[in-house]
Amino acid sequence: MCYRLTSQLTRLAVYLTIVLNKKEVDAEIIRRVTKVAFDTGRGIGLEIIKAIHETDGGKLNFHGVMLKTKHGEKEERQQLFFMTQIKALDIETVKNIKYYRLSKGLEELYNMCLSGAKV
């Protein structure tokens, strides 16, 4: 995460603490800041992660990803290739069809962030 974004989210946490009349940043504040971070996050990579995570079974083929994220074929293929190269996604082949799923590490991290657990 870049310095600017870290700084902005930290300030948000501090100001929420004041507005909500809390003595310190607590679990509720962290939950709200995490929600803001996810709700304002953007980009094809995050869209692909959300699409796969929200799918029953936790995997999608290329056309499933395209239907959910609504980007062009070339852009989707490039991003999926990149995400598999950096090991954010794993590929499972069933009957000659590639299915993409979140890598174990990314899935754990994403679930921790969604639950508000400490990373």
Handedness of CA 67, 109, 27, 15 (dihedral sign): negative
At 19 the pLDDT is 93
Rounded CA separation 115/61 (Å): 27
Question: What's the pLDDT tens digit per position in 58-117?
Answer: 899 999 999 999 988 999 999 999 999 988 999 999 999 999 999 988 888 788 777 765
What CATH number corresponds to the domain at position 102? Answer: 1.10.10.10
- Which range of residues forms the domain containing residue 37? 3-41
CA 69 remoteness from chain centre: 13
Residue 75 lies in a domain: yes
List, in sequence order, the alpha helices (H) in 1-119: 3-19, 27-40, 44-53, 62-69, 73-85, 104-115
